[in-house]
Structure 1
Amino acid sequence: MKPIRQRVGRILKFTRFSFRDLVASAAPTVALIAAACVAAYLIVDPAPPRQVTLGTGQENSAYDRIGQKYAQELGRHGIAVTLQGSHGSRENLRRLNDHKVDIAFVQSGSTDQAEAERRGLVSLGSLFTEPLWLFLREEKGHAPIARLTQLKGMKINIGAKGSGAPRLFRQVLEVNGVDVKEVQASQLDNTPATIELLEGRIDGMVFAAAPDDPLIQMLLQTPGIALFDFTQAEAYTRRLPFLTHVTLPRGIVDLGRDLPAHDYQLIAPTATLVAREDLHPALVDLFVQAAARIHGGAGWFQQQGQFPSPRFSEIPVAQEAAKFYKDGPPFLQRYMNFWLANFFDRMWVVVVALGALILPLSRVVPPLYVWRIRSRIYRWYGQLRAVEQALEAAAPGELEAVCRAQLERLNDIEHRVNRLSIPLSFADDLYGLRSHINFVRDRIQNQLRSSTE
């Protein structure tokens, strides 16, 4: 049985398809295609980073608390969000321009479109309204202040340095014909300014913040502190287009105590999410989706689903954000986790690379395979030629010895050829080589007989 198995194994060895030769022939092509795909995947459309820096606001401010919500939302997808506090919009803009943060909260009106485009900034949308709150001390026996022109000579904290409030309040004063120099302006942080107001060392202070800011909530309920009513709010929105007209409804702060006692008209910029234009598109998608979950509900000044919005911003909206507002989340992200959806979304780059390389390179593999198989046969023709040249170069007296030496060499060649592993489809080449070996052997034997006669 063992000899039979050996004979069968020998037959299979000499007749099977040469997978090893196919792999060796295709390996350079496969390696080239794989390298091109990896390069396309990593360079043309790199994977999104796993860490991003978000510029927020002052400690315990609305920006600070909302930033923590974004960190939680993106953390669910494996993105670490580093929160970087600031004094507000102006400081966040500077940090964006200096590449110190990747994305930040910025108040509308803090810059203009031309400046934003020049700096390479894009908006991911408006998030919520941030009314301009002007709190003033009430003076007994004096009528409440009804016009901003009445602020001349008063001590007003116009907002912290680096925040958007000072620029905004200056613009509001300018449309009233009041120069900020006519006001005794200070620029303390919100908490120290609130203390100064309560202690009576300043006459008023300006906020530009969401209504759930703790300091605003406190001042709205503090006796002796009055909120300025922008009765000309609609006119302000026509003069300063980045502002919107909102109403603080009667009783919204405390229905039981009827606070406030009447409706207040307010003017409000919007908080926007601003990023550098080189922020990875996948991160833009994630932030906009997080914004929809965080800011999509109803609030004091907004209806359900009103925010986030591509409106109310002077900064151009990012292409990916505009797509979200038009069509919703990317198709794959509706059914898969972020990283898997992002992987398949980026696979089109690899498909293009494969399509560009596979068709032309696939035509190279078959000829390489044929050449590799036949080269194992053809190299023995060089050995046969060497045998013939040895006969031709032999001197008449040495011919017999040379013939016998070349016959031994030819037998060795034949023995090695018989051990060649050749696919069945190339058997004609193998048998052609064997016949040529016999042809050379016959020639040597003829010459040997002639030399001995």
Structure 2
Amino acid sequence: MQKIKFTLFSLRDLIVAFGPVTLMVLIVGGLGLWLVDPAPSRVVDMSTGPENSGYERLAKRYAEELAKNQITLRFHTSQGSSQNLERISDPDSEIEVGFVRSGSTDPVQASDKGLVSLGSLFYEPIWIFYRDKKELTTISQFRGKRINIGAEGTGVRRIFEQILSVNSMSPEDVSLQRLEDTPATMAFLDGKMDVLVFSTASDAPLVQMLLQTPGVRLFDFVQAEAYTRRFPYLSQVVLPRGIVDIGLDIPSRDYHLISPTATLVAHESLHPALMGQLLQAAQRIHSKADWLSRQGEFPSDRYTEIPVAAEAEKFYKNGPPVLQRYLSFWMANFVERMWVVLVALGALLLPLSKIIPPLYVWRIRSRIYRWYGQLRTVEQVIDHLNPEDKIPVLERQLRRLDEIENKVNHISVPLSYAEELYGLRSHIHFVRNRVQSLLVQQGVQNP
């Protein structure tokens, strides 16, 4: 134990020297954590779509991606885009993000409600299926027919009414039905419905089934380019010949479609770091090619009427944050939030790093050097002796030197400072020899 005591650095002096600085760093760091942006929540609430819908299936994939960074995605079913918008914009709702079909709102309303777009995810074409002996080429030919546009809240009604308006028609010119997709399809196949209107991805089971059902026709938007010019949130896409079944040549020709896009919409209060995680998940999920889009076309900051969030614009321009490419999400986020504090601490520690080591050295050496004051006092006494009491005074100083040496022998210093300690002991011996010599001169034997 004594060996360790004299070979290791002085922990006590180290604590005394570094303690105030450590306390200052902790205080500054604590203030920084309190003042800078709060850490993102580990839970995100998302509004999806009807139960077992494509939106709900998609939400489960997002949940799997976010779970890789210990973020829980809680998804809530809804009637569709319209209800999702209402939930996200409601200040009392816990919903912060959801899937919304483009064309469901307008830029002014979205901005007023604090809505921001994280980007378009995939095409959701307007599929119009009908049964007729001849092919219909214009929307005006649907006048008077029974048309199902999906349940309330899907957002299809607003888009379809705009389509009717540019064809000099109004909702009163047709018989609009609001059945859910599955019962509407059954009614359509039974002849109780004339037209089905969907807005969904190409991999939707009902769409793929209807494309292969004999006697069911898909409406070809031959004026697709004109529609996209009138409604900027729409895109022109082509369903290629044979894409459903190349061997059976289904469909037997290219079909032109107009398409809104599924958009990931959030409230502007959503933490930017969580926006970034949702965007990275979207990139992993939607970047592959499908029937209607090319590799890497989605996600995209285009095709949306809702203002794109600043965090999303940064992501589409620069990709994921640099730190997240090398560190875990939570560590990278901590550094990103605390960089101002870290810079301030660096500026504080730089000058302190030049002060603390000398302070530590001074504390060690001060335990040795203060005894030189005692030695100097002894020398001053023997330099000013009175002739009458020289011997008693010298004997007292000799005893004083013994006390000093005894205390010096109990001084604990690191091994690197042993030279100063042994120098002090040799100087004590030097002063003792001087006192003893003076006693011998006074006739004292073996002082």
TM-score of the pair, normalised by structure 1: 0.74
SS of 1:68 mapped into structure 2: helix
Correspondence for 1:214: 205
Deviations 1:160-189 (A, max 9, x none): 211121111111111112111222112222
Q: How does 1:294-313 map to 2 (within 5 A)?
A: 294-313=285-304
Structure 2 residue identity aligned to 1:160: A
Correspondence for 1:258: 249
SS of 1:267 mapped into structure 2: strand
Structure 2 residue identity aligned to 1:267: I
Q: How does 1:84-123 map to 2 (within 5 A)?
A: 84-98=76-90, 99-123=93-117
Structure 1 residue identity aligned to 2:82: R
Distance between the aligned counterparts of 2:254 and 2:347, measured in 1?
66
SS of 1:311 mapped into structure 2: coil
Structure 2 residue identity aligned to 1:186: Q
Q: How far off is 1:97 after superposition? A: 0.7
Considering only aligned residues, what root-mean-square deviation do their CA atoms show, in Å? 4.5
Q: How does 1:239-250 map to 2 (within 5 A)?
A: 239-250=230-241
Aligned length: 405
Distance between the aligned counterparts of 2:348 and 2:190, measured in 1?
76
Gaps of 5+ in 2: 365-403, 419-447
- Say yes or no: does 1:346 pair with 2:337: yes
Greater CA drift, 355-364 or 36-45: 355-364
- Say yes or no: does 1:40 pair with 2:40: no
Residues 310, 361 of structure 1: alpha-carbon distance in 2 compared, 3 angstrom cutoff: same
Residues 118, 420 of structure 1: alpha-carbon distance in 2 compared, 3 angstrom cutoff: farther
Q: How does 1:55-66 map to 2 (within 5 A)?
A: 55-66=47-58
Q: How far off is 1:35 after superposition? A: 2.9
Structure 1 residue identity aligned to 2:104: S
Identity, % of aligned pairs? 53
Structure 2 residue identity aligned to 1:325: Y
Query: Is the 1:153–1:184 contact (alpha carbons within 8 Å) kept by the matching residues of 2?
Result: yes
Query: Is the 2:36–2:338 contact (alpha carbons within 8 Å) kept by the matching residues of 1?
Result: no
Correspondence for 2:306: 315
- Say yes or no: does 1:126 pair with 2:120: yes
Correspondence for 2:263: 272
Deviations 1:268-327 (A, max 9, x none): 011111112222222222221221221111111111111111111112222222222222
Q: How does 1:375-390 map to 2 (within 5 A)?
A: none
Greater CA drift, 263-272 or 48-57: 48-57
Distance between the aligned counterparts of 2:111 and 2:348, measured in 1?
38
Residues 17, 291 of structure 1: alpha-carbon distance in 2 compared, 3 angstrom cutoff: closer
Query: Is the 2:66–2:278 contact (alpha carbons within 8 Å) kept by the matching residues of 1?
Result: yes
Distance between the aligned counterparts of 1:360 and 1:187, measured in 2?
73
1:188 paired residue among 173, 179, 187: 179
Structure 2 residue identity aligned to 1:273: L
Structure 2 residue identity aligned to 1:171: Q
Correspondence for 2:228: 237
Query: Is the 2:116–2:306 contact (alpha carbons within 8 Å) kept by the matching residues of 1?
Result: yes
Distance between the aligned counterparts of 2:9 and 2:286, measured in 1?
65
TM-score of the pair, normalised by structure 2: 0.74
Query: Is the 2:36–2:337 contact (alpha carbons within 8 Å) kept by the matching residues of 1?
Result: no
Gaps of 5+ in 1: 374-413, 425-453
Residues 17, 212 of structure 1: alpha-carbon distance in 2 compared, 3 angstrom cutoff: closer
Query: Is the 1:61–1:214 contact (alpha carbons within 8 Å) kept by the matching residues of 2?
Result: no
Correspondence for 1:30: 22
